[in-house]
Amino acid sequence: MQLLQKLRDGTIIETLINEVSEVEHEARSFSKRILDFLVQSRGSVFLFSYTGYGYTPASLMYWYSLTFQSSKHPVLAEAEESSIYLLPYRDDLSLLIFSTGEYSKLIPALQVARVLGVDYLALAPEPPTDNLKAIAKFYAVERIPSRIQDRIKAALFMTLASFFAISDLYKSGLEARGRRLFTHGQEGFAVTLASFIERYLEEINNIMKLDDLHITSTRFLEASSILFTHAINEIGKSAKYIPLEVAVNVNSPLVAIFLTTEERLRRELNFLKQGLVNEFLLNVDPLEAIVYLTMLSYIIVRSTNI
């Protein structure tokens, strides 16, 4: 059965909703650990770091903190960049690092943080070997539930946990917006999954028709768009992510993921490409868009196995 047929099948949609609900339930419990770290951290600069597709939850934390004007200056950097260029030169950092299992990059970053006395919280899936399990335990890596080993599912779990934690932290920020995001986090995203898929089924259908496509977005949605690109590759289609600034030079099919708030950039790209752009336009709160796009990546890959 083709992907689009599956996404129109009520029984399959129900299965997917139940699976996402389970991930959401576990992520909500795990979010308390993240929230405690955010509240108790000592550093005046918050470094959100990552390996692999941990980029998505790290990006969500960064943009959420930046949007809500945290008193702790947020910084976003990959784990190796953090350990080489940031950790050795600052003594006022708190480090929150997300990994989807790339322990060869995660452990060296934690070694540097431990030596320098940096306050950190590291999240990652269960290590694959006993040796790595011992090392992860030594460096106090918080391991996500053992049943969540797939990298896309791990990214979804950590993104949901991050949203629940930080929306709670900033629930009084920016007046109505802070309260609304927190309330939506309390309600959960699984309950809106069916309507979300129905709303964007045409855009998904257009993407599935393309071959050798390039996917682009603004920097705000870069992390979740890279994950989305990986999901497209996982189901056997050829896709590559490229930054928006180089998208105008691509001759192959182009999928542009935009928020409705990015109207100027959207119009500019369409003008430069003479309308030869397949748009994926997300009409949701920008911070929630990161979660929805991550959830859609999981749905696309999971649907192929049902």
pLDDT in tens, 7-58: 888 898 899 999 999 999 999 999 999 999 999 988 889 999 999 999 999 9
CATH of the domain at 130: 3.40.50.10490
Final residue of a domain: which of 124, 155, 187?
A: 187
User: Are residues 117 and 100 part of one domain?
Assistant: yes
Residue 2 maps to a domain: no
Alpha-carbon dihedral of residues 284, 179, 294, 77, nearest 10 degrees?
A: 110
Q: Report the domain count for the chain.
A: 2
Task: Kindly report whether the global pTM for this prediction surpasses the value 0.75.
Answer: yes
User: Are residues 203 and 162 part of one domain?
Assistant: no
Residue 170 maps to a domain: yes
User: Are residues 228 and 180 part of one domain?
Assistant: no
Residue 107 maps to a domain: yes
User: Are residues 175 and 208 part of one domain?
Assistant: no
User: Are residues 153 and 224 part of one domain?
Assistant: no
CA distances to 157, 259, 262, 301 from 267, rounded to whole Å, are 34, 12, 9, 31
Residue 70's pLDDT is what? 63
pLDDT at 3 over 90: no
Residue 253's pLDDT is what? 82
Containing structural domain, residue 207: 190-303
In this prediction, residues 234-247 reach a mean pLDDT of 92
Return mean pLDDT, the chain: 92
